[in-house]
Structure 1
Amino acid sequence: MRSMRIPSQNWRWMPAATILVFLWWLLPHAVRGQDLGTWELLMENAGIASMHTALTRFGTLVMLDRTNIGASQINLPDGKCRASNDLVLQSDCSAHSVVFDPATKTVRPLFLMTDPWCSSGQFMPDGTLMQTGGDFDGLRKIRTFVPCEPSGTCDWVESTTQELQSGRWYSTNQLLPDGRQIVIGGRSAFNLEFIPPNANGPLYFPFLNATNDDQNDNLYPYVHLLPNGNLYIFANRDSIEYDYSTDTVVRTFPQIPGEPRNYPSAGSSVILPLLATNNFSVVEVLVCGGAQYGAYLNSISQMPCSSTCGRIVVSDPNPTWVMDNMPFPRCMGDMILLPTRDVLIINGAQQGSQGWTNAVNPTFSPVLYYTYASLGYRMVALAPTTIARMYHSTANLMQDGRIFVAGSNPNQFYVFNVEYPTELKLEAFSPPYLAPSHDLQRPTVTVSPLQITYNTLFTITVAFPVPLTSELEINLVNAPYSTHSYQQGQRLVGLAVSALVQVAQASVYQVTLTAPSTPTVAPPGYYMLFAVNQAIPSKGVWVLLST
């Protein structure tokens, strides 16, 4: 049992001591007492406000912002400058992308030639970050970043031989089982394409036309790869199952109740953990938050954001949306799959919508969503930050289990003397499972293979401060591309534990596991492997999943 509310009647007559014991039993380990998470300021000034953020397999975080914004607060090295046709600066000697090293709390400037404003991205199977589209001179651009050790000099490379088949601004990328990427939608782009490209050019995608409205509430569509190889695609309030290999809509799902959920109304979505224990046969999607229709068109009204989450079992033959209420309204919130198989909802505002100065009343408190708790008992508000993280903010799971939080710029340019300024600070949120009170349950993965192959057995070594007394979970979590309240490609796969053997030391175990069965369950690439004991995770260990 992860979370439960106290019955509303009769308990008030219980003796005080009995009530305390009763409360201790009811509350989940992760939130009892004062374990509501903690915040840490990592850096006062990163030089840029990160609009897009991705975690690399070296533990560093790549951050990007617009180029067409004037000078940032960090210069390019060695006097390098960028000549461009930008509206603000034609010669820009500042950086608009940096790589942050959490170990040293330092940033290194990176060189971007074209504008990645409101672009999209995803890691390739070899760990290369592919970043696509943007605005102005970046509309059709394909950029790659091959990560390196924190001491390295890796940088962005913009292709001079390949470009997108259609201009992409506010689109979504998804890595496919064969290692290609599919890029879907964007402003005035009712189509999709593949990288590497197919021979027929971009494919017209009627679903994007059908979900369009006066606000364009179908931008940054939510795209989730299903274990059967098809795609679940959600835009505005509608969703479909799409077979990209035949360009066919296989199923149409019921419309989610309530408000529009995509940009600019800006809710968020995750595909919930896929588990070997049910042979990856139960597939659920969660969509939380959004804004009332008209909040973007009539931004001066500052309408309340949505307070609902919808959850649907897309693997059911007759699925329906099951609705739940968040502790407070939220739009522009990021949803992060945690190593414990739960979900963290973080960042955002309680009124308005995405867009410059379109929102007020920041949502300072994250919410912990317990995936396997009963309806009505799934959400707990956690410790608040003091920094507003609204339009153009990001959140990413780190290897040590913390959540990296960056960005927020509700202004067209870098502005600091307003109520909601351009935010250059970097923070980390430690969820309740990182509280020192849980250290005796915390596992450590001491030996792990660097590479695993599909549907094969492999063995890891896990150590504990005390002997293991409960079931052990092993989860693979990938590194998505975080932008505009959506983690593109985010995925968690729970592995099957085939054997658990205690070795010579009393608290050290060899764990034999079965790798994911197929690339449709987990596309090839780098994943963090977490051991989880009593909802307390280890640090993640990077492994490469390949054929």
Structure 2
Amino acid sequence: MMSSSRMLLIMILGAFLLLLSSLDLLVQVVEAQGSWEVVVENAGIASMHTAVTHYGTVVLLDRTDIGASQLPLPNGECRNDPNDETLTYDCTAHSAVYDPASGTVRPLFIQTDTWCSSGQFDADGTLVQTGGDNDGFSKIRTFTPCAADGDCDWVETDTPLQNGRWYATNQRMPDGSQAVIGGRSCDTVEYVPSSGAPVYIPLIANTNDAQNDNLYPYVHLLPNNQLFIFANRDSILFDWTTNSVVANLPTIPGEPRNYPSAGSSAMLPLSGFNGWTDAEILLCGGSTYGAFLNPAAALPASITCGRISPLDTAPAWAMENMPMRRNMGDMLLLPDRNVLIINGAGNGAQGWGNAQNPVQTPVLYNPNAAAGTRFQTLTATDIPRVYHSTANVLPDGRVLIAGSNTHQFYTLTGYLPTELRIEAFSPPYLGGGAEPAITDPPAELAYGQAFAVTVAGGNPLFIDLNLLNPPYSTHSFSQGQRLLQLETAVPTDAGGGAYTVTTTAPPSSVIAPSAYYMLFAVSDGVPSYASWVHVG
């Protein structure tokens, strides 16, 4: 019979092991919330507009009328601009290209003012950049990317916008053009390249208010070839082929949602498993009306999200609460088809000095979970990111965070100083298991083309192939963002721990406007390093 002292010792040892197990579980849970790393201590500029090219490099872009930046132009080059309201002869850069592989930042030359402008990638991977302030108001600029060791730079085209645009939104269209929609005192849509005169959109005019809460409208290309356009609290279905309003959708409850009240929006992933027919729009955050007009009041941000299926016969907003109030949040579609909400503030609105109470805790939203269980809070950053900050998914699955400048000029001290550091956030899926790898990615895909890839590693019962379109991130909205889940057959054993996954490319340019996409293999929620694939 076991002695009482020995039994007591075993009980104590068991309790100790249980405690260690609990602590280990706690550590695992904490580690599963994601991690942060400062990847550039001083980029020289605060990126107001950010986009990832198909070379894996990142275009950083600020405005030009802020005076000197901290990034010199090379070889004694200077910008001579008599229209600049701050510094007409400027030998510093206001755009740059960052290479995540080497950590280097190369200055770029931009001539006209890109303050609060818009952009989108063309089918060939060229970044088209439109509008801005002052001498940039009617400008169209292009950046054709190159390898990290190249010397590609901005080109200011001779063809102007028909309507000058400031705070507009771009959307790449199925015919290869870009729709440029809205802007301050601009209630039209025009197409680049031009296909006729600009067309009046009543929604943009009717949703204006004393704060101009109709700026940077949320625009999504739906799988029926119509545009979902949202401004302030209202939205429409717009037939871009006839330039006509098809339907007026219900008003979302709650606060204004667009600039300067600044919520964010994303179209949830489209899936080949349901024939690409289901489209849902998610919209989260915003500001109490009056926050922009009376910034000293520090009015609370919105806590609500709305979700709508705009192509339903009777579309309606389904509302739910975020874990915390937030405006100026960036909403990103992640490779695993979840949504990341990151950056922002809990009080105030967009604008110089209007934001207070930075929200430094990202939130993960699972669109496939039951209502009430969709949100998960993640690891907080030490760096506030509020007005003029950006967020972009990198090919390795990390999220690049840049910018934040609540001041008219670069102000590197005091409350919420201009932020020149660049961070990378690793979501919970990184480090959570063995990463799969695509060993034979296609370089080109035609619409409807059947193809197969070999995926090394991962669980053959749970391998997804997802295409992610790199957007143009600015002012809490990722213009052109799109994620497509390909319909896959059951993987077959390719030997050596690898599996062959057979699938079919998206059927048309309505589902996948021609462009470069990041192709991710995702196994048990863990994404591979992306392969760049040109679709169309």
1:278 aligns with 2:274: yes
1:486 aligns with 2:484: no
Report if the CA contact (8 A) 1:394-1:406 is conserved.
Answer: yes
1:56 aligns with 2:62: no
Shift of 1:382: 0.4
Report if the CA contact (8 A) 1:31-1:432 is conserved.
Answer: no
* Equivalent of residue 491 in structure 2, options 493, 497, 500: 500
Match of 1:438 in 2: 433
Give the RMSD, CA atoms, in angstroms. Answer: 2.0
Q: Give the 5 Å matches for 1:1-150.
A: 32-84=29-81, 85-150=83-148
* Equivalent of residue 453 in structure 1, options 446, 456, 466: 446
Match of 2:11 in 1: none
Match of 1:4 in 2: none
Match of 1:410 in 2: 406
Secondary structure at the aligned position of 2:488 is classed as strand
Match of 2:191 in 1: 194
Change (3 A) 1:452 1:385: same
Whole-angstrom distance in 2 between the partners of 1:423 and 1:148 = 27
Secondary structure at the aligned position of 1:458 is classed as strand
Query: Which amino acid in the other structure matches residue 198 of structure 1?
Result: S
Structure 2 portions without partners, runs of 5+: 1-14
1:254 aligns with 2:272: no
Whole-angstrom distance in 2 between the partners of 1:17 and 1:45 = 46
Shift of 1:498: 3.3
Q: Give the 5 Å matches for 1:142-291.
A: 142-160=140-158, 162-199=159-196, 201-291=197-287
Change (3 A) 1:449 1:354: same
1:519 aligns with 2:509: yes
1:539 aligns with 2:529: yes
Change (3 A) 1:449 1:20: same
1:358 aligns with 2:348: no
Whole-angstrom distance in 2 between the partners of 1:450 and 1:21 = 47
Query: Which amino acid in the other structure matches residue 514 of structure 2?
Result: P
Secondary structure at the aligned position of 1:391 is classed as coil
Query: Which amino acid in the other structure matches residue 179 of structure 1?
Result: G
1:387 aligns with 2:383: yes
Whole-angstrom distance in 1 between the partners of 2:446 and 2:17 = 54
Change (3 A) 1:287 1:19: farther
Query: Which amino acid in the other structure matches residue 155 of structure 1?
Result: D
Shift of 1:21: 11
Report if the CA contact (8 A) 2:491-2:500 is conserved.
Answer: yes
Shift of 1:32: 3.5
Structure with the greater alpha carbon radius of gyration = 2
Change (3 A) 1:514 1:21: farther
Whole-angstrom distance in 1 between the partners of 2:223 and 2:41 = 42
1:475 aligns with 2:466: yes
Report if the CA contact (8 A) 1:498-1:514 is conserved.
Answer: no
Match of 2:4 in 1: none
Secondary structure at the aligned position of 2:484 is classed as strand
Q: Structure 2 length as normaliser, TM-score? A: 0.94
Report if the CA contact (8 A) 1:60-1:150 is conserved.
Answer: yes
Match of 2:12 in 1: none
Q: Structure 1 length as normaliser, TM-score? A: 0.93
Deviations 1:395-443 (A, max 9, x none): 00000000000000000000012111010000000000002x412xx21
Change (3 A) 1:432 1:96: same
Shift of 1:198: 2.0
Whole-angstrom distance in 1 between the partners of 2:64 and 2:353 = 20
Shift of 1:460: 0.9
Match of 2:5 in 1: none
1:427 aligns with 2:411: no
Query: Which amino acid in the other structure matches residue 325 of structure 1?
Result: N
Shift of 1:471: 2.3
1:374 aligns with 2:358: no
Shift of 1:281: 1.3
Change (3 A) 1:296 1:508: same
Whole-angstrom distance in 2 between the partners of 1:247 and 1:478 = 25
Whole-angstrom distance in 1 between the partners of 2:472 and 2:115 = 14
Shift of 1:504: 2.8
Whole-angstrom distance in 2 between the partners of 1:513 and 1:364 = 39
Shift of 1:248: 1.3
Give % identity. 55
Whole-angstrom distance in 2 between the partners of 1:166 and 1:315 = 30
Report if the CA contact (8 A) 2:460-2:491 is conserved.
Answer: no
Structure 1 portions without partners, runs of 5+: 1-14
Report if the CA contact (8 A) 2:461-2:491 is conserved.
Answer: no
Report if the CA contact (8 A) 1:98-1:108 is conserved.
Answer: yes
Deviations 1:328-350 (A, max 9, x none): 10000000000000000000000
Secondary structure at the aligned position of 1:280 is classed as coil
Shift of 1:500: 2.1
Change (3 A) 1:19 1:187: farther
Deviations 1:28-70 (A, max 9, x none): xx98453110000001100100000000001110010010110
Secondary structure at the aligned position of 1:390 is classed as coil
Secondary structure at the aligned position of 1:179 is classed as coil
Report if the CA contact (8 A) 2:486-2:506 is conserved.
Answer: yes
Whole-angstrom distance in 2 between the partners of 1:91 and 1:427 = 31
Report if the CA contact (8 A) 2:451-2:504 is conserved.
Answer: yes
Q: Which stretch has the larger CA shift, 332-341 or 78-87?
A: 78-87
Change (3 A) 1:232 1:19: farther
Shift of 1:190: 0.8
Whole-angstrom distance in 2 between the partners of 1:44 and 1:118 = 25
Whole-angstrom distance in 1 between the partners of 2:417 and 2:321 = 30
Secondary structure at the aligned position of 2:31 is classed as coil
* Equivalent of residue 336 in structure 1, options 332, 338, 358: 332
Query: Which amino acid in the other structure matches residue 509 of structure 2?
Result: P
Secondary structure at the aligned position of 1:78 is classed as helix
Shift of 1:90: 1.2
Number of residue equivalences? 521
Shift of 1:501: 1.8
